[in-house]
Amino acid sequence: MNYSEIANEIIKLKNKDLELRQKLIEQKKLSHGYALEMENLHISNAKKLNTIIDEVGFPTVEKVGIEASESAWLIIQHAISEPEFMKNV
């Protein structure tokens, strides 16, 4: 198992989240409820992270390093449209 590749993938998911958040802030669209574009990204990120967890277990610091492990937690916390995923992890 190549945990380095997995770490990079998780960090990319987090970065997409933060980039979209910044874009929506600049467009003044973030403070008007849950933007559909943001919700769709959160759902997609949750599905991708869930696939990773199914394959290798939770991405702990020991497996993927601190940045990727913390990125996984951000993805989980933002998956508000996926409560079962949140509960499972």
Three-state helix/strand/coil letters over 14-39: HHHHHHHHHHHHHCCCCCCCCCHHHH
pLDDT in tens, 20-69: 999 999 999 888 889 999 999 999 999 999 999 999 999 999 999 999 99
Tell me what pLDDT residue 31 has: 81
Tell me what pLDDT residue 64 has: 98
**1 pLDDT more than 80:** no
